[in-house]
């Protein structure tokens, strides 16, 4: 079974009165996030919450779809 990479913890943020958060500088630098960039917010019920640069959403969805298809194929072959 393939192991999933362990996510790195970059720190904590505080949600402001208007629901805004500040993305830590280390994350902005590592992922080249600049003022004005659009991020897609995704989450499961009760977490986790994540961000994807808007321009990478279609690539993310394509890769996720391919992974799900492989998982389904593997499950079908085992049955």
DSSP 29-73: HHTT--TT--EEEEE-TT--EEEEEGGGHHHHHHHHHHHHHHHHH
Mean pLDDT of 13-28: 92
23-72: per-residue pLDDT in tens?
999 989 988 999 999 999 888 888 788 888 888 888 888 888 998 898 88
61-78: per-residue pLDDT in tens?
888 899 889 888 877 777
pTM as predicted:
0.59
């Amino acid at each position: 079974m393939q192991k999933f990479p362990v996510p790195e913890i970059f720190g904590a943020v505080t949600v402001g009165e208007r629901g805004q958060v500040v993305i830590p500088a280390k994350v902005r630098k590592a992922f080249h996030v600049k003022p004005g960039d659009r991020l897609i917010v995704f989450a499961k019920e009760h977490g986790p919450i994540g961000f994807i640069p808007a321009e990478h959403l279609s690539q993310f969805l394509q890769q996720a779809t391919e992974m799900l298809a492989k998982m389904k194929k593997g499950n079908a072959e085992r049955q």
